[in-house]
Structure 1
Amino acid sequence: MSTIVARQPLPESRSSTGFRLAMLLPVGLVTFFLILFALGLVLFLAFRGNDGSLLGAGFTFANFVTVASDPLYWTVTLRSLAIAGLVTLATVVTAYPVAYYLAFHAGRRRGLLLFLVTLPFWTSYLLRVFAWKIVLAYNGVLNSALVESGIWSEPTLAFLNTPAAVVVTLAHAYAPFAILPIYVALDTIPKSLLEAASDLGARPFTSFRRVVLPNSMPGVLAAALVVFVPTVGDYVTPALVGGPASTMIGSLIQAQFGKANDWPFGAALAVAVMLVILAVVLMVRSADRRFGSRT
């Protein structure tokens, strides 16, 4: 009887290792200088006192004491979390049916539909926000349509400069960011699982609830994080389509780095927001692990 000997893998050559390091070098430089260095600078500024200079003077905890003790910042932070939560919920709920159709029913039209989903990336974010401002304005598209149809007798100011306008605009802007990860999660579900569920007599809704939804939850959670994290700190949309009742924490941070010229306090606000977002991300990861262990 002949003996089969497993072949040992060949060691990697130095040229191959050097090539991989060379390919990773640009990514490493970008990560260090544009992310870690910027984050370190923000942390450094957060503990500096404001003397009018760029880097501040001395080290102090006064900035964080002000953030923790002033109810204004707590109110605006909670409002930002609430708006971001509503945007995330609206975006994920509306994105899931689109992603489901792309994964299971699009057929030959899938490529075209994916192209249409990514089409907003080709336009400026500001242009999309201004488009919603035109739609929701006093003499905008929505008011004109309601007046012309006879539903209302005159235009209203109830659409623009409201938290609802901010939620709608942000949900539309971040919809592609939610559709794509959910679609990837749905598309990777083995079709054999659905066939097995059908062979065992499961109805379509039961198959969706017991097979599709649990296996797509990693994509749903990824989409929620991708939408939630940037919307918490958004300041452009509240400034253009929101009013004073829609002020978010990003607007206060931008004001500290701009008109107030208090970079250390703005950095402290940014660090506080990052800690809150980090706590939310850790909670989502914990929920993802628990959900994964149950399924």
Structure 2
Amino acid sequence: MTAATLQLRSVIRGLGALHVAAVLVLAVVPFLLVFAISFGHKVEGAAWVWGFELTNYRRFFVGSDYPDSISLLYVKYLWYSVWYALVAAILAVATAFPFVWLMTRLSRPAQTVWLVFFLCSLTFSEVFIVMGWDILMSNRSGLPMVFQETGLTDWLKANGGLDLLRDWGLATPRNVRFKPSEFATILTLTYLVWPYAVILLYPPVSKIEREVVEAARTMGASPFTVVRTVVMPMVRIPLVGAVLLLFVFLLGAYVTIAVFADPSKHTLSISIYEAVRGSTLNAPFGSAQAMILLLTAAAVLVIGQRFLSAKSGGR
């Protein structure tokens, strides 16, 4: 064995050790700190102290006054975290897939242009995107004003459409209103991750051979039938994987929820911030909420993996 080979192996071992150290410092240690802090105790009028008690977790599930009373406030926040993230992730993938399919049918230069465009759009921060949607849905300068000025609001009033929108929380007695609402929240979250959905789906969809599609068309299948019975089964795992990845990403969305969601329908990300950096300064309770949110994400990932395994086993 030459000296150069020994030196190369030494460098590789050093890089491996460096990689392990980086993972420990950047991932494992912060996780363990949050986990340990979640068992701490908040001192009224002061900060908090280390401890080992389940008070913070009990407060999350049944409230701080249990057993005198039960409060499911934070469980509701968890529900809305899962609801917003799951619906937005599914909508993003469901709408991105047909676009990606059509994009892969274009020439290579056209596909490159689209990919560069979406990669550039990823540079926009959540704050920038939410600011644009906030202006678009503003009651005075956005779509509600357009509805009012074009006479569409009067038409909705005359045909009962405004009453229906009021039942959905999207209108007032005088005009449409898009915020705060679940509609605006989910729509903005979907737009936020839509470019990610396109980029995640492009590699597996672009690898589908044109001959497979042409063979199905030759046998008399319509374009929709080809996509439904041939293409989608071939990319089933990437589709579910994209939904799961975007779901985990959206669980921590903060700005969108703070701007568009009704305060009674906020998520755990808002509650965690208020506990850690808000007026209460209760880091242990914020850490407990973060741990529960992390465990929820892990549970959804496990369920998704088992779903894919069951589907693959039944083939």
TM-score range for the pair, normalised by the shorter chain length: 0.7 to 0.9
Structure 2 counterpart of 1:275 = 295
2:185 is matched with which residue: 155, 158, 166?
166
The alpha-carbon distance between structure 1 residues 113 and 257, as it changes in their structure 2 partners (threshold 3 A), is same
| Equivalent residue number for residue 28 of structure 1 | 20
CA distance in 2, matches of 1:27, 1:146: 56
Structure 2 residue aligned with 1:91: 92
Q: CA separation in 1, counterparts of 2:10 and 2:176?
A: 63
Q: Deviations over 1:101-142 (max 9, x none)?
A: 222235431111111222221222201111111111111221
- 2:205 matches 1:186: yes
- Matched position secondary structure for 2:51: strand
Corresponding position: 1:59 with 2:52: yes
Contact 1:139 1:155 in 2 (8 A): no
SS at the partner of 2:117? helix
1:202-233 deviation digits (Å, cap 9, x = unpaired): 44333322321011112211210121112223
Call closer, same or farther: CA 1:120–1:293 in 2, change over 3 Å.
Answer: same
* Pair 1:293–1:209, CA change in 2 (3 A): farther
Q: Tell me the TM-score normalised to structure 1 length.
A: 0.87
Assess if the C-alpha contact under 8 Å between 1:87 and 1:170 holds in 2.
yes
Q: What TM-score, normalized by structure 2, do the two folds share? A: 0.82
Q: 1:156 to 1:64 in 2, by over 3 A?
A: same
Residue 150 and residue 64 in structure 1: after superposition, are their counterparts in 2 closer, same or farther (change >3 A)? same
Match of 1:204 in 2: 223
Cα 1:196–1:128, aligned 2, differ >3 Å: closer, same or farther? same
The aligned counterpart of 2:169 is none
Taking the aligned partners of 2:98 and 2:185, their CA distance within structure 1 comes to 23
Tell me, in whole angstroms, the C-alpha distance in 2 between the residues paired with 1:25 and 1:134. 49
Q: Distance in 2 between matches of 1:16 and 1:198?
A: 54
Choose 19-28 or 172-181, whichever is displaced more: 19-28
Q: Corresponding residue for 2:313?
A: 293
Distance in 1 of aligned mates of 2:49 and 2:103: 52
Structure 2 runs not aligned, ≥5 long:
64-71, 155-172
Query: Does the CA-based 8 Å contact 2:48-2:282 persist in structure 1?
Result: no
Matched length: 285
Which of these residues, 5, 29, 49, is aligned with residue 13 of structure 1? Answer: 5
Moved more, 44-53 or 217-226: 44-53
- What root-mean-square deviation, in Å, do the aligned CA atoms of Structure 1 and Structure 2 show? 2.5
Change (3 A) 1:152 1:195: closer
- Tell me, in whole angstroms, the C-alpha distance in 2 between the residues paired with 1:23 and 1:198: 51
| Identity level (%) | 22
Is residue 264 of structure 1 aligned with residue 284 of structure 2?
yes
* 3-state secondary structure, aligned to 1:174: helix
| Structure 1: gaps spanning 5 or more residues | 1-11
Tell me: CA distance 1:22–1:203, structure 2 relative to 1, closer, same or farther (3 Å).
farther
Deviations 1:234-293 (A, max 9, x none): 222111222213311111111110121110111111111111111111000111112223
Of residues 196-205 and 155-164 in structure 1, the stretch that sits farther from structure 2 once superposed is 196-205
Describe the shift of the 1:57–1:108 C-alpha distance in structure 2 as closer, same or farther (beyond 3 A): closer
Between 1:279-288 and 1:209-218, the stretch displaced more is 209-218
Partner of 1:7: none
User: Structure 1 residues 157 and 243 mapped into 2: Cα distance closer, same or farther (>3 Å)?
Assistant: farther
Which digits, 9 at most, give the CA deviation of each residue in 1:157-215, with x for residues without a partner? 62111121111111111111111111111112234433443455544333322321011
